């Protein structure tokens, strides 16, 4: 019990620090690179603006994910995980596209390629397909709440009240920390500047890479 409590507290602290670090880093990058960006070609401006926007979306989705977990809506928090994962994949695609078209499409709100196709190159297609269940009105996601009746049963119980601890909140929080670090790296790459990850956050990520928590599903 004490180990579990320490784990949850550590997860909250790590994610909160990572979110604030990402927030302040994006603001600093934007401020320092503003003059240099004005002298860049139009394609480079699109890339940096797309990276900045996707980074800002990740900060907000991480904040929303933390709020939902804190209030017992752990299932719904996975929909915000979907936002962060998509932001990371779109950012990596934008940085890799030398034509600048991917960045322009992101800024126009019309991403140029199907996300699942991009996930095969820049992420994990299975992860996107799994998170899609929680980002849409998919009845299969209700199974995580106790949900649909099992084979041979005629009735099932769906719990609509907040639930804590059912979908491994500590794992979700460390996953959010990992995503903020990855997206921050993508933003740094787009702006062509150097930025060092907080040693404490890096140490926490390495620790839980070597001592992984069970997946929530």
pLDDT in tens, 127-157: 999 899 888 888 777 777 765 666 677 676 7
- The per-residue pLDDT for 1 is 43
Measured CA to CA in angstroms, residue 210 lies from 11, 34, 42, 206, 213 at distances of 15, 39, 43, 6, 10
Backbone angles phi, psi at 35, to 5 degrees: -70, -40
Domain ranges, ordered by start, for the chain: 2-148+165-210
Closest to 77 in 3D by CA, of 89, 86, 68, 88 = 68
- Helix, strand, coil distribution of the chain in percent, nearest 5: 75, 0, 25
What is the value of pTM for the model shown?
A: 0.82
- The per-residue pLDDT for 56 is 92
Q: Quick count: other Cβ atoms within 10 Å of Cβ 100?
A: 17
Residue 210 half-sphere exposure, CB side, CA atoms within 13 Å?
Answer: 5
């Amino acid at each position: 019990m004490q180990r579990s409590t320490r784990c949850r507290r550590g997860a909250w602290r790590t994610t909160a620090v990572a979110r604030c670090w990402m927030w302040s880093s994006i603001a600093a990058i934007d401020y320092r690179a503003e003059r240099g960006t004005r002298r860049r070609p139009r394609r480079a401006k699109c890339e940096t603006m797309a990276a900045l926007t996707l980074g800002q979306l990740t900060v907000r989705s991480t904040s929303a994910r933390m709020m939902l977990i804190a209030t017992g809506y752990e299932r719904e928090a996975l929909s915000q995980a979907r936002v962060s994962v998509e932001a990371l994949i779109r950012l990596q695609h934008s940085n890799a596209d030398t034509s600048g078209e991917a960045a322009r499409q992101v800024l126009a709100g019309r991403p140029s390629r199907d996300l699942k196709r991009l996930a095969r190159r820049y992420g994990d297609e299975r992860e996107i397909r799994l998170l899609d269940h929680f980002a849409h009105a998919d009845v299969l996601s209700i199974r995580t709440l106790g949900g649909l009746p099992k084979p041979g049963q005629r009735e099932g119980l769906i719990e609509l009240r907040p639930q804590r601890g059912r979908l491994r909140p500590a794992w979700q929080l460390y996953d959010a920390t990992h995503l903020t670090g990855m997206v921050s790296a993508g933003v740094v790459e787009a702006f062509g500047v150097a930025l060092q990850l907080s040693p404490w956050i890096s140490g926490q990520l390495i620790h839980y890479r070597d001592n992984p928590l069970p997946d929530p599903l």
